[in-house]
Chains A and B, each alone.
Chain A
Amino acid sequence: MLGRVPGPPAAIELRGVVKRFGAITAVDGLDLLVPSGVCFGLLGPNGAGKSTTMRMLTAQALSDEGTIEVLGYALPRESKQARMSMGVVPQLDNLDVELTCRQILGVFARLYRVPRAQRDDAVDRALGIANLEGRADTIVRDLSGGMRRRLLVARGLIHQPNLVLLDEPTVGLDPQVRQELWTLIDGLRAEGVTVLMSTHYIEEAERLADTVAVMSAGRIIAQGTPAELVEAHAGREVLEVYGPPAELAELEKLAAERDWRHRRSGPAVALLGAEELNGEAPDGVRRPANLEDAFVALTGQEIE
């Protein structure tokens, strides 16, 4: 590890956390343990409670029930202490549009108590990580969406935190910027930084996360490495059956009767765990099961 003081064994621990907004229960008895040094993906559809959970980790939302510990500090009482070693990359752009990249990074270097002698280096390093050296003195208003997102990431890393929270890091970005960010996040993993990443993009979770927790309706419904989740909930192979809607509807009825796990996958019906279906299933295309299948099987929700 590059000079980081190792954190406690569990970077984040939530137990029985409940958060209500009036009549809506956004987080409904959440148990989550994120070990140190891991890239942890929190995968769930919109409305699952991911953003609320992220806000509770910075004490910008207060839980109604349950306990929260971040980097060994009890929240919300010791939240400010925890935030010293935490970086946050929010979903929504909250940059000062009137300031330049360098100015924003300079302000946050101060806020994160980076010692004065190291501030300039920290700013330069952050600009390098975000590939914004050439734009250091450009004001945010003149930056593209992708550059702004990179600046958001740089801002969260200015103080070399032990723990980074990423809330939907690549939503709305074009593929090239998305790849750049993925490389960046991968780099964090290599440095031993604990990353908690919330996303509704299956590919992102599959590609980057060591462990994935599937969140739905305010709680974790499954957890494991991407491979474990696939094996447990979608089997090893999937059989995709194509045909006109009427035939597919028939197939779904049959699958329901025979208790075959299945889902709609575009213009096809996909039968999960197809390796166990020898002979009984109709003709179709066999392919390996993936996290998307597992996700749909778990949450019952199709991807947008």
Chain B
Amino acid sequence: MSAGASAVSKRSHRLDPAALAGVMTRDVVLFKRYWKATTFSSVVQPTIYLLAFGLGFGSLVSHVGHVRYVEYVATGVVATAVLFSSAFPGMFNTFIRWQFQRTYDALLAAPVDVEELVTAEILWISIRAGVYGLAPLIVGLAFGLTPEPGMLLVPFIGFLTGFGFAGFGVLIAAVAKTIDNFNYVTSAVLTPMFLVAGTFFPISTLPPVLRTIALFNPLYHCVSLVRDASFGIFAPRDLVSAAVLLAFAALMWRLSIWRLESRLID
């Protein structure tokens, strides 16, 4: 029986794991070529923030609550690492592959649909984000952060957060007219987002308006969960945070598929 014949007999349903695996294989092969550069940028930048703020401010601010400032920042910067290693690939990789290289056209001529394509891309980015999120934590451990079993949850929190922001990135890529539009998103959305999330300072110091806005910021919930997990705390607010991240991930997932489909299919 030839390969063609056996393929005909396989019925394909939605989100076929074989299709997801196929698309992700492509990402993995590409990653193998560029992993050093990708890892470097995803790991070094947050680490620099961590060292600069942690050590710089750490000499002025010894504690936030009962947490040493270095540890406070290390757990906060996990979210930054996750954000930047998910939103940017979501935006740029998608846009470049679709617009300039038409590689998505090639994939869609195969038995893959837009839903599978987007889901696979987002899954791959999220897995990477979950892993890269560990880097600041490891640096924190080197600076005396106490290892806690809860830290094993951090990659999963990173994955879930990354899923949402990767979806967000794909959504932006799908609606952007030119690659320059991304500057607006980076400056007006992502930058405030990572600052008003409890990453370097608690939001309790902010005016009430910003504090309320922070509660709607998925990154704030990521930071909160990472901190609680890293310090072995479990509180009801963690369930709320997890729910927010899940909702954000689900919403961005569906929106990104919807918009990219309308761009890719005439």
Interface residues of A (CB under 8 A from B): 2-5, 19, 21, 52, 55, 58-62, 79-81, 83-86, 88, 90, 92-99, 103, 106-108, 110-115, 118, 122, 155, 159-162
Contact = CB atoms under 8 A, between A and B. Distances in A.
Q: Which of B8, B19, B266 has the most chain A CB within a 10 Å cutoff?
A: B8
A40 B195 CA distance: 61
**In terms of DSSP, what is the predominant structure of the interface of chain A?**
loop
B111 A111 contact: yes
27 contacts: A2-B2, A4-B2, A5-B1, A5-B8, A21-B266, A58-B108, A59-B265, A60-B266, A61-B265, A61-B266, A79-B113, A81-B111, A83-B110, A86-B109, A93-B102, A94-B101, A96-B26, A98-B30, A106-B25, A107-B26, A110-B22, A111-B22, A111-B111, A113-B7, A114-B3, A118-B3, A122-B3
B10 A84 contact: yes
Contact of A85 (B8, B22, B103): B8
A103 B29 CA distance: 7
A194 B18 CA distance: 26
Given A111-B112, A159-B4, A60 B264 contact: yes
Given A93-B102, A113-B111, 5 more contacts: A61-B266, A96-B26, A107-B25, A113-B7, A122-B3
Q: Which of B8, B18, B103, B110 has the most chain A CB within a 10 Å cutoff?
A: B110
Contact of A60 (B11, B29, B109): B109
Contacts of B5: 3-5
A107 B22 contact: yes
B48 interface: no
A21 B108 CA distance: 20
A5 B4 contact: yes
Given A94-B102, A107-B29, A80 B111 contact: yes
**In terms of DSSP, what is the predominant structure of the interface of chain B?**
helix
A115 B6 contact: yes
Given A81-B111, A83-B111, A95 B8 contact: no
B21 to A, nearest CB: 7
A42 B180 CA distance: 40
Interface string B4-34: 1111101110000011011101100110011
Interface of B: 1-8, 10-12, 18-19, 21-23, 25-26, 29-30, 33-34, 101-103, 105-113, 264-266
Contact of A62 (B26, B107, B112, B266): B266
A32 B12 CA distance: 27
Contacts of B264: 60
Contacts of B102: 92-94
Contact of B3 (A79, A97, A115): A115
A19 B113 CA distance: 21
Contacts of A122: 3
B174 to A, nearest CB: 16
Contacts of A85: 4, 7-8
A159 B265 CA distance: 24
A111 B113 CA distance: 11
Contacts of A5: 1-2, 4-5, 8
A86 B23 CA distance: 18
Given A80-B12, A94-B102, A111 B4 contact: no
Contacts of B265: 59-62
Nearest to B112: A111
A251 B231 CA distance: 96
Contacts of B34: 98
B264 to A, nearest CB: 7
A40 B41 CA distance: 51
B125 to A, nearest CB: 17
Given A61-B265, A83-B111, A113-B111, A90 B105 contact: yes
